[in-house]
Structure 1
Amino acid sequence: MLSELVPVFGDKMKIYGGHWLRCDIPLFEHADTHVLYTDIDVVFLKDVVETAPKPKVIACGPEHNKGDYSYFNSGVMIMNVEAFARKRVALVEALKGRLSTTAPYDDQTLLNDVFRGEWDHLSDEWNWKPYWGRNDEAKILHFHGPKPANATVMQAGNQDIFGPDFKTIYNRSPEGYAYYVPVFEKYQE
């Protein structure tokens, strides 16, 4: 997918290329039938190997609201490698058709459009967000929106340096961030 994006966005793809590389997993993964992809802003809270679902094509959780499967968040995705490979042709064609209107960071909209009606729902616990509050059953914690460093600044009362999106997300559950930021920091030691 990067071969389509780099000529259009150039150096910006050095920042956003990783998001798009998930779409290339079927090009090099030939040993496993299913692959768990995550963004880098996650913490594994429980062992996921034994309980991972095996979707028909992909499985993802909701974007912003628990249980709202009208639009998925692709930061945690389980992929059926063979089925995704078959669908990848349509994904590349859809990308080519919108290169003039897409943004270099907006792989998720494309994925949602191409996989509409074909994706399995991951339970919220597989892509838990701090702004949903504490959940002792969460498997993967995803710092979607404010990252731990952002949340630490906000906890100190410095929210005004952030845009309205980050402030709104953080203020949905400052308690959730207060609980999960130390969990994240524990893994940095």
Structure 2
Amino acid sequence: MSREFIPVRIAVLTVSDTRGLADDKSGDTLVQRITDAGHSVADRKILRDDRAAIASLLRAWCANPDIDVIISTGGTGLTGRDVTVEAHRDVYEKEIDAFSTVFTIVSMQKIGTSAVQSRATAGVSNGTYLFALPGSTGACKDAWDEILVKQLDYRHMPCNFVEIFPRLDEHKRRK
């Protein structure tokens, strides 16, 4: 069975107290890979490490019918300023637990036991997928090249995230 590619609309958020668009290498890496894969960048922003502000933007993007997926980079570490994971979890309706596990497996192959310092996470809210990636360009490349490019491609078998888009919010349509 052959399937046609379905482009996905992806918003990119960089969480950083120090970077702007001019020096956002991780955000640039994601944007390039998203467009190279045939998807579109629906929006792009940079926010400081502020849990409430991050969660607020994530909620707004989840409510936007022109955004299917949100990928954030930065703020997933262990320091006091790293609050992206908490902001994501404030928004999730369901967490995609295996994403963290698979990302750790991919990271272990590249950086060994240093992978334990990452808290990459993913979830679903309001029919939108959300992924929180570490702030390094290497981590963004690994997450995209080894996981997301496949799971965001409708042609990927045996299953992928795109094919279940229509059912992500089915519970809201029940009587």
Using the size of structure 1 for normalisation, the TM-score is 0.28
Choose 1 or 2 for highest CA Rg.
1
Q: Which has the higher strand share?
A: 2
Using the size of structure 2 for normalisation, the TM-score is 0.30
